[in-house]
Amino acid sequence: MTTTISNSTLKATINNKGAELQSLQNINSEREYIWEGNPDYWGKHAPILFPIVGTLKNNSYTYNGKKYELPRHGFARDKDFKLIFVTSDKVVFSLQFDANTKLIYPFDFELQLTYELINCELQITYKVINHSITVMPYSIGGHPAFALNQSFETYHLRFESDERLMSYTLENNLLSENVKEIQLQDHLLPLTYSLFEQDALIFKKLHSKQIQIIENKIPILNFKFNDFPNLGIWTPPQAPFICLEPWAGYSDVVTSTGIITEKEGIQLLESNSEKEYHFSIEIL
């Protein structure tokens, strides 16, 4: 089941499974900005990453001395969300803990996803709610894939700050201590497939909180992620899309102890508390 919202400029379609954004179109030009999900390259569009981002060491963690297993990027992207609010230009989905999630993640959580169209912008809000009587450790992130209609190497990413980019390399899907420096050229990162020969670019911290996608020297969208301290950028070989992934958390480091409350980059939410994370896609 899908839900579509629209305004005078944009139309967005969201799948109840995973509350995943499947389409974002400019109504006037009919241009599609979200990757179509062709499984020959990658069968997703923009999955939510919760309650972990990336990979756990040995795909497991311990909490209060008990071992649990979680798949890469968690389970929320594969769950059916409940539609709890909808208007013509705004929709809210909710996922709550159940007996099955408690077997692999022993917390009384609720995750709400809000999509709202305002003028030329799709604003996305993740609200994490802890109904548990204990502190709840978690990570959360987005994984939107943006369709690239032209040749991949005609695109650039324009960073808000002209900064030194330090990307952490992966070792068996875990973060190593090796760092690769990527040089911007007047705020610009030219896209080449060679950038991703060792998988995603992973930045633990960035000064930039906005990135533009530039197509043939013309900006086509502005990606804003003020509430997220980390960012991943990824595409598989020869794929016609680029993922800009705002994260609060990341994969285990190679030296991880496996204790979830000690995990590097983990978020900790007090009992009966909530926290919101916002990012947006502005069509230019």
- 8 A C-beta contact, residue 51 and residue 74: yes
In whole numbers, what is the pLDDT of the chain averaged over residues?
96
Closest CA to 76 of 132, 1, 139: 139
Of all residues in the chain, the percent with pLDDT exceeding 70 is 100
Lowest mean pLDDT among 6-15, 128-137, 197-206: 197-206
Q: What pLDDT is stored for residue 198 in this prediction?
A: 86
Q: What pLDDT is stored for residue 183 in this prediction?
A: 87
Of all residues in the chain, the percent with pLDDT exceeding 90 is 94
* pLDDT tops 90 at residue 219: yes
| Residue 46 to residue 42: CA distance in whole angstroms | 11
In the three-class reduction of DSSP (H, G, I as helix; E, B as strand; rest coil), residue 59 is classed as: helix
Q: What pLDDT is stored for residue 74 in this prediction?
A: 95
Specify the DSSP element, H or E, that contains 100.
helix 99-104
* pLDDT tops 90 at residue 50: yes
121, β-bridge pairs: 118, 282
Q: Which band of pLDDT confidence, cut at 50, 70 and 90, is reported for residue 205?
A: confident
Sign of the alpha-carbon torsion through 92, 38, 32, 188: positive
Please give the single-letter amino acid code of residue 236. P
78-128: per-residue pLDDT in tens? 999 999 999 999 999 999 999 999 999 999 999 999 999 999 999 999 999
Q: Which band of pLDDT confidence, cut at 50, 70 and 90, is reported for residue 252?
A: very high
Kindly state the DSSP code that residue 80 receives in the 8-state scheme: B
Closest CA to 52 of 44, 61, 42: 61
Alpha helices (H) in 74-139, listed in sequence order: 99-104
Spell out the domains of the chain, with CATH numbers in brackets. 2-283 (2.70.98.10)
Phi, psi for 207 (deg, rounded to 5): -75, -40
| Mean pLDDT in residue range 9-13 | 98
Q: What pLDDT is stored for residue 250 in this prediction?
A: 95
127-149: per-residue pLDDT in tens? 999 999 999 999 999 999 999 99
| Mean pLDDT in residue range 221-233 | 96
- 8 A C-beta contact, residue 37 and residue 45: yes
* Beta carbons within 8 Å of 234's beta carbon, 6+ residues apart: 196, 199, 200, 201, 242, 243, 245
* pLDDT tops 90 at residue 151: yes
- 8 A C-beta contact, residue 101 and residue 52: no
- 8 A C-beta contact, residue 9 and residue 33: no
